[in-house]
Amino acid sequence: ADDYVTKPFDDIELLNAIESRLRKSDLMKKEFSKNVEGLNEFISSAKGMEDLKKLSETREIKTYKKKENIYQEGSYPRGIYFVNAGKVKTFKTHELGKEFITGLYKEGDFFGYLALMEETKYIDTAEALDESEICFIPKEEFFSLIFRNAEVSKRFMKMISGDLSDKEEQLLKLAYNSVRKRVAEALVTLTNRYKKDGETNFSMNISREDIANLAGTATETTIRTLSGFKDEKLIDIKGGTIAILDYEKLANLRN
């Protein structure tokens, strides 16, 4: 964990990441245009705050191989992580190996702030899904950014609150939706997270196990469900790669 490289760090980048998250969730709530105004206003005001700018001088960067752990359940957080490039998942582990994926991240996202906020050990594990370049932002740096300014605090709280709403929605769906719906939802979530803007014929290389752990179901059941989707021409499967053929139908399944 000591092969970090020191590089200049600009707070604005972190703020942008918060904003980006807020923007995305607002987008889903179809309030995008309204919030873009507030966003730009905020970014420029933040830029004006000189005390924010000089907060932190360095950041550490590290490259993680596919399947490499970034942090592990039970260890203590020293800061937060920011994805420069690649893909990351966070998951919780159930008795004897079953996993449930709690978060998916890509370039521009940050993760690992929950344990930091709570001042406890990590209660989940972060792992690279692809080879990834992750930068580390020390605790003090992060906290001073978050708490020095009430507006930033507010933004950050809004973001966490959004996360909380999402989890509650997820609980409802996990409780009462069929596996079929949940697997479709997992594909939709993966598409929303990893499809690049303007990209058509989106496909991804993700293990059946990860999809199962996102849907909270057995791997075999997931595979069968995916085969069903393939028969229905909702997706295409070539080797380990899944192509989304009909996003709309997947997102609006009857049952």
Could you list the residues that contact DNA (CB under 7 A)?
178-180, 207-209, 217-221, 223-224, 226-227, 237, 239-240
Rounded CA gap, 199 and 222, in Å? 26
Relative orientation angle of helices 219-231 and 179-194, to the nearest 10 degrees: 80
To its own copies, the closest distance from the beta carbon of 198 in angstroms equals 28
Which one of DNA, its own copies, none interacts with residue 178, CB within 5 to 8 A by kind?
Answer: DNA
How far apart are CB 40 and DNA at their closest, in Å? 42
Burial of 238: CB neighbours in 10 Å, binned 0-12, 13-18, 19+: exposed
149 vs 219 by CB, closer to DNA: 219
- Taking the C-alpha atoms of residue 72 and residue 122, their distance in angstroms, rounded to an integer, is 7
Alpha carbon distances (Å) from 149 to 24, 74, 189: 23, 31, 33
Judge whether 74 and 121 are in contact, CB under 8 Å.
yes
6 or 153: whose CB is closer to its own copies?
A: 153
Q: Which is nearer to DNA, 65 or 154 (CB)?
A: 65
Closest CB to DNA among residues 188, 223 = 223
Dist. CA 41–CA 44, nearest whole Å? 5
Q: Which does 233 bind (CB under 5 to 8 A by kind): its own copies, DNA, none?
A: none
Q: Of DNA, its own copies, none, which one sits near residue 68, judging by CB under 5 to 8 A according to partner kind?
A: none
Closer to DNA at the Cβ: 43 or 188?
Answer: 188
226, 204 Cβ separation under 8 angstroms: no
Instruction: Give me the residues that bind its own copies (CB under 8 A), please.
Output: 29, 31, 92, 94-95, 98, 100, 102, 113-114, 117-120, 123-124, 146-148, 150, 153-154, 156-158, 160-165, 167-172, 174-176, 216-217
What the block records as the tokens of 193 is: 């997270």
